[in-house]
Structure 1
Amino acid sequence: MTEPTVLTVILNYRTPDLTVRACEAALREMQDLPGEVIVVDNASDDGSVERLQQEAAARGWDRDGRLRIVESGRNGGFGAGMNFGMRAGLSDGSAPDFYYLLNSDAWPDPGCILKLRDFLVATPKAGFAASAVRGEDHDPHQTAFRFPTAAGEFEAAARTGPISRLLRNRIVPMPLPRSRIRVDWASGASLMIRREVIEATGGFDETFFLYFEETDLCRRAALVGWETWYLPDAGVIHIGSASTGMRRWNRMPQYWFDSRLHYFLKNHGRAYTVWTTLALIAGTLLWRLRQLIRPKPSSDPDGFLTDLIAHAARRALGRTFAAPAPAAALPEDSR
């Protein structure tokens, strides 16, 4: 029986140094696995492609066809870039058995890719296998989730003990799993996907520029019978937000509001979307009231509530989504 093949897809947007490290780690883990690594550059326009090509040549990565560097031609966001890489397939024109999505600022532990692949091979109903993610300080990152709901939106905004306990089964971030467990959706920072899932769903919805695209893909796959699993024994180190600059945001970008709204409208309809937005507003107002009674540090971006209400109002008045900011205007850092 032929051993299943893996295509590792790494998306680069203005992070060539980190991407080189990701390639080095991925190639190490792919050394004994049939398959290849493909790097997709999302129109970085900063010399990234040339830098990556030079490094690949200097390290001999391009000599045996195990690594390719391709250009998507546009900065269409995370899902569009990953779709481009998956559509490219293997260098011989065939489609792999599995796609492994790896962030440019993530480095798999020894055995990570093999464990994810072998789990999917052994678990026919599993369409996705996600690894545990930790920072360079080894602090675990939250990457296993429940699907968003109105109750979950309210709980996340309210940040109040009694409410969180009451709605504990609706909290989107799940308690850190200690064993292999089925989840609703998982982060795309390190995610193995069965080829049949992509064939059944068409891949990522490219309407999402950034955020909610993995949530939507896992939900669509679940509707046709595919499960998502989290494997704590397969790990990666992940810096996080190296392309988006999220940690330095003073204000939530327009594309986050666009993605959130598109997710709920697409998957739950207009009435429920209105309800989730009202729940998020109510939870935020409750948090603000608590801050007035007992001062607490704010974790919301500046102007979050007014931006949320303004965005919802524009949509209610029939305004179309604003186009994502051009590449040059995005924060220095794609995910």
Structure 2
Amino acid sequence: MDLSPLISIIIVNYNGADVILDCLRSIYERCSSVTFEVIVIDNASSDGSLGQIHQEFPQVSLLTQDTNLGFGKANNIGVRYAQGEFLFFLNSDTLIPTDILLSLLTKLTQSSDVGIVGPRLLNTDGSFQLSVSKEISILGEFQTLQQVRRYRDQATRKSLSQLYSHDQFVDIVVGAAMFMRRSLFQQVGGFDETFFMYLEESDLCKRVRDLGYTILYTSDISLIHIGGYSVAKASETMAKEYRRSQRYYYKKHRPVWEQWLLAAYLSCKSWYTNYAR
């Protein structure tokens, strides 16, 4: 009899002692509809979270790294050890309110065209959290920025949440919760490890769509996402990392004229920040 888990839940941890234990508890306390394993890749945490995970959750496959490898590379390492036919990439600052694994599996396998499923993300108070974005491009980033502004404005957030109150195909789902077949992940070559943090999920979604698959956002399945936990600890460094990832993404996927336009915009913004005060 095959005892291999059907789903491999893969979590990257970096100094997440305040959140990852609650995340793991929510998984083990609420998920039982299908067989699963949990793989945690620790990116050289120094906050004691490594020992806490090992002590409270000896059943977790804990892969320790000597340095912070970044989000994409760490996930790729996790996939190499994964036994499941399906992969659930999950942030350490998420909570599973109900057993969602079978529902995710059903959404993904309802059509052979679906490549990635992204569930509806909620804030800790249960309110709607924006968890999709447009294609990364000059126009797409402008459209996404407009959505972010609508989300931040309480007067328009409700109408925005109604736009995402039903299942729909989107360009990108955020990397906090992504469900897909392991075979497809391997087919596209996994996460591009040139991205240390930011846009790696956008790049993965792009390459999946380029193969003819769709990205499904589902409002029927929800989980809580605290959001920005690791990033908040080094916001200035991560702001620079975002720009590096953005330039690389445009070089990889966008036409030359958009690369030039982005470079001009960033140069003007840097000049204004440094000299026009």
Shorter-chain TM-score: what band?
0.7 to 0.9
Give the conservation status (yes or no) of the 8 Å contact 2:5–2:37.
no
| CA separation of 1:152 and 1:126: change in aligned 2, threshold 3 A | closer
Q: Distance in 2 between matches of 1:53 and 1:308?
A: 49
Which residue number corresponds to residue 102 of structure 2?
114
Describe the superposition over 1:85-132 as per-residue Cα deviations: whole angstroms up to 9, x where unpaired.
111113xxxxx2110011111012313222111111222111100000
Equivalent residue for 2:155? none
Change (3 A) 1:207 1:268: same
Q: Residue 151 of structure 1: CA displacement? A: 2.2
Partner of 1:89: 82
| Correspondence for 2:207 | 220
TM-aligned CA distance change 1:174 to 1:75, over 3 Å: farther
Quote the Cα distance in structure 2 between the aligned partners of 1:308 and 1:109: 45
Q: Using the aligned pairs only, state the percent identity.
A: 28
Q: State the partner residue of 1:42.
A: 43
Change (3 A) 1:184 1:8: same
| AA of the residue aligned to 1:244 | V
Matched letter for residue 36 of structure 1: E
Could you tell me how far apart the structure 1 residues matched to 2:273 and 2:185 are? 35
Whether the aligned pair in 2 keeps the contact of 1:153 and 1:276 (CA below 8 Å) is no
Q: Contact 2:31/2:98 (CA < 8 Å) preserved in 1?
A: no
What's the counterpart of residue 182 of structure 2?
A: 195
1:274-301 deviation digits (Å, cap 9, x = unpaired): 12444x569xx8xxxxxxxxxxxxxxxx
Cα 1:174–1:265 shift into 2, 3 Å: farther
> Separation in 2 of the partners of 1:276 and 1:233?
37
Structure 2: which 5+ runs fail to align?
Answer: 150-159
| Superposition deviation, residue 224 in structure 1 | 1.1
Compared with structure 1, are the counterparts of its residues 250 and 200 closer, same or farther at alpha carbon in structure 2 (3 Å cutoff)?
A: closer
| Whole-Å separation in 2 of the counterparts to 1:307 and 1:44 | 36
- The offset of 1:21, in angstroms, is 0.9
Match of 1:78 among 67, 71, 83: 71
Two-structure CA RMSD over aligned residues (Å): 3.0
Task: Please give the residue correspondences for 1:18-167 in structure 2 after superposition, counting only pairs within 5 Å.
Answer: 18-56=19-57, 62=58, 65=59, 67-90=60-83, 96-154=84-142
**Partner letter of residue 83 of structure 1?**
N
SS at match of 2:88: strand
Structure 2 distance, partners of 1:145, 1:307, is: 28
- 1:31 to partner: Cα distance: 2.2
Map of 1:314 onto structure 2: none
Give the TM-score, by structure 1 length. Answer: 0.70
Counterpart amino acid of 1:79? G
Q: 1:272 to 1:35 in 2, by over 3 A?
A: same
Aligned to 1:273: 259
- Contact 1:200 1:221 (C-alpha < 8 Å) held by counterparts: no
Deviation at 1:52, TM superposition (A): 1.2
**Higher CA-based Rg:** 1
Partner residue, 1:15:
16
Unaligned stretches of 5+ in structure 1?
A: 57-61, 91-95, 162-172, 286-304, 311-335
**Residue pairs, 1:239-250, within 5 angstroms:** 239-245=226-232, 249=235
Q: Residue in 2 aligned with 1:306?
A: 270
Q: How far did 1:174 drift?
A: 9.4
Amino acid at match of 1:122: Q
